[in-house]
Amino acid sequence: MSELYSNKKILAPMVRAGRTPLRLLCLKYGADLCYTEEIVDKKLIESTRVINDALGTIDYRNGDDIILRLAPEEKGRCILQIGTNSGEKAAKIAEIVGDDVAGIDVNMGCPKPFSIHCGMGAALLTQTEKIIDILKSLKAAAKVPVTCKIRVLDNPEDTLKLVREIEKCGVSALGVHGRRRDERQPDQCRIEEIREVSRTITTIPIIANGFSGEIEQFSDIEKWRSATETSSIMIARKALSTPSIFREDGVLDKFEDIENFLELACQYDESYTMTKYVVQRILGSDQEHDPRGKATVAAGSVLQICKAFGKEEVFNKWNEDRKKKQSKKRARVDD
């Protein structure tokens, strides 16, 4: 089970961004695994699993909200990340998703007040008993490998104590973001502390994370893997601003990344807000300087975003395709 995480380049979990189109785009470019955005346990538990014939996807939905949409191309390569503070709820999720996903990861690094106040994310880092309960309950219920993603603790010795306990829970890999709970982007990623984790935990792959500021090209990914002596590297911010960072043949022009992203957003019927968010993150300062950027900022629908990039026909094609499939299905039901 650990092989799934060995020697891999991974799209990190990112709320709002790590949804079907960006995950598929990164896989298409060369990422080996992709994580979903963090999904809070309650949301998944309250969702309904639906086979979406028009898209060919498995959807977990709550009314009109798509909580999780899994495309066939990501089968075996998509890790569900959950936010939880309860072994019982985590186990329930494992039962619900079965093997729709390739693995289940628990977020133990999010420092945002929302997570911390609910006892999730980085709040777990100082509650070893709770971590053990969550991971063991999840392991007992899951059909797929279980992992977690942590931040380093304020005292490196405490980090090593914690990761030894996590290893004993039978996880298949461990993600380590080399920043402390109160550290943010301009703070240096703590390479030595990740390396110490990797030297301490030798039975499972360690996934290093926190280098987006230092990754400019594909070869940099290997540089950081080697510097941290870890098995795998996980990338968040760089993959959001430049998804083609996963291309061995080099990054693409940002507008090509956006066009490729929009094709998948149209194909998988992504919502306006999520589509706009990712396009704006890829655009960066071009939101103010480029006419396509300005048109994106002003856009009020996926169609308008597509128009800004000459992708109107792509939008219409997938829209028509969905309608045809839906009416065929209705006709079959009426028969």
Q: Is 13 in the site for ligand FNR (CB under 6 A)?
A: yes
Give one DSSP letter per residue of 233-292, joined into a string.
Answer: EEESHHHHH-GGGG-TT-PPPHHHHHHHHHHHHHHTT--HHHHHHHHHHHHTTHHHHSHH
Count of residues making up the chain: 335
Among positions 42, 49, 237, 325, the unique one binding ligand FNR when judged by CB under 6 A: 237
Q: Is 22 in the site for ligand FNR (CB under 6 A)?
A: no
Q: How far is the CB of 41 from ligand FNR (least distance, A)?
A: 13
Residue 100, classified by CB atoms within 10 Å of its CB into exposed (0-12), middle (13-18) or buried (19+), is: middle
Q: Is 38 in the site for ligand FNR (CB under 6 A)?
A: yes
From the candidates 34, 110, 189, 306, give the one annotated as an active-site residue: 110
Among positions 87, 205, 210, 293, the unique one binding ligand FNR when judged by CB under 6 A: 210
User: Roughly how many angstroms between the first and final C-alpha of the chain, as a whole number?
Assistant: 45
47-55, 89-97, 203-211, 305-313 -> range binding ligand FNR (CB under 6 A): 203-211
* Closer residue to ligand FNR in complex, CB, 52/107: 107
User: What string marks each residue from 169 to 188 as x (binds ligand FNR by CB under 6 A) or -?
Assistant: --------x-----------
CB atoms within 10 A of CB 296: 23
Q: How far is the CB of 236 from ligand FNR (least distance, A)?
A: 3
Cα distances from 199 to residues 9, 145, 169, 196, 204, in angstroms, run 20, 22, 18, 5, 11
Among positions 109, 145, 205, 243, the unique one binding ligand FNR when judged by CB under 6 A: 109
Residues 6+ apart with CB under 8 A from 166: 131, 135, 148, 150, 174
Cβ atoms of residues 277 and 265 within 8 Å: no
46-54, 204-212, 243-251, 320-328 -> range binding ligand FNR (CB under 6 A): 204-212
* Closer residue to ligand FNR in complex, CB, 94/245: 245
Q: Is 110 a catalytic residue?
A: yes
Q: How far is the CB of 177 from ligand FNR (least distance, A)?
A: 4
In the block, tokens 């856009």 appear at 299
User: What string marks each residue from 64 to 93 as x (binds ligand FNR by CB under 6 A) or -?
Assistant: -----------------x------------
Q: Is 274 in the site for ligand FNR (CB under 6 A)?
A: no
Q: Which residues are catalytic?
A: 110
Q: Which residues bind ligand FNR (CB under 6 A)?
A: 12-15, 17, 37-38, 81, 107, 109-110, 149, 177, 209-212, 235-238
